[in-house]
Amino acid sequence: MTKDGSFSLKSNYFNETFHSGSGALNEALTKFICPSQIEIFKEESTIRILDVCFGLGYNSAALLDALQQTSIKAKWLGLEIDPRPLDLALKEKDFQNLWSTNILSILQSLRKHSQWNNDWSEGLLLWGDARKMIKAISKTWKADLVFLDAFSPTHCPELWTEEFLSKLAKLLSPGGRIITYCRAAAVRASLRRSGLQIFSIKPSQFTQNNWSEGTIAISSDNKNVNNAKDQPWQLLSPMEEEHLLTRAATPYRDLSGADKPCEIIDRRKIEQFHSNLKVTSDWRRRWFN
């Protein structure tokens, strides 16, 4: 049980919790739904969503819950390697109580049939390693929203590599955005190199001392991106920009598309050792001491 009363899990395999202790639902709303800005989509239009690392389904369930209160339609794809998180969540009364009957029946249908279809939305969950399953998505299918909610780069580097992020970038529609809780310099630098404009998700009122809730990377085809005060994101601060000039910005690389996590981590360590980039501890001392 997390602090907002919502149920979550810990993975022994990845040695990491699925959500921050502040609350699984709270995290979905702050880091994924608010930055999705569904209010900018036209009524009657169709939003295409790709949820990378579906897990217990919080991010998608919260988004669909918000969408069902509008006349916007949804076409959804999910990527997930392990059916157990959804299975365990659906057995919990507290988890069931979070959702309306409609959303619960979507989650149940995903568990039983890996898909759903109703009068305003449809979805398909592709089970397996996201690096492999992403190849099954048609090149003509374009996402307005990509939720990237993998375990952290040090525990699950394979889903934060330059190669995988660049595949996600290619799936974006003009103006489409990748949203992630991750603010790691390596991930931001790779997203920028894949041609996206990157922004920092503003800290929420609950995490005042935090410098960022994550990253939004927007397809640069969108000329209307601005930095207005009422946006949930902002340009990277000088401190965040400087972070990208340090060795922390050395990318994770997956040369075969199926490299083991330890190979990806070791390769990055070697690249950092030979790097001309500034030492990250100097950056940390400059901005945090």
Ligand X SMILES: C[S@@+](CC[C@H](N)C(=O)[O-])C[C@H]1O[C@@H](n2cnc3c(N)ncnc32)[C@H](O)[C@@H]1O
Residues that bind ligand X (CB under 6 A): 18, 28, 53-59, 79-82, 85, 129-130, 149-151, 156, 158-159
Residue 232 beta carbon to ligand X: minimum distance, rounded to whole angstroms: 18
Residues 6+ apart with CB under 8 A from 61: 28, 98, 99, 103, 106, 107
Q: Which is nearer to ligand X, 164 or 283 (CB)?
A: 164
Q: Which is nearer to ligand X, 54 or 283 (CB)?
A: 54
Minimum CB distance to ligand X smaller for 59 or for 246: 59
Min CB(257)–ligand X separation in Å: 11
| Least CB distance to ligand X at residue 196 (A) | 21
| Cβ closest to ligand X, residue 79 vs residue 143 | 79
The tokens describing 69, both together, are 């209160």
| CA 245 – CA 280 distance, rounded (Å) | 9
Q: How far apart are alpha carbons 199 and 233 in whole angstroms?
A: 6
Residue nearest to ligand X (CB): 55
Nearer Cβ to ligand X (47/79):
79
Please, what is the minimum distance in Å from the beta carbon of residue 132 to ligand X?
Answer: 8
Q: Quote the least distance from Cβ 152 to ligand X, whole Å.
A: 8
5-11 long-range Cβ contacts below 8 angstroms, 24+ apart = 5/94, 6/58, 6/94, 6/95, 6/98, 7/56, 7/89, 7/92, 7/94, 7/95, 8/56, 9/55, 9/56, 9/85, 9/88, 9/89, 11/151
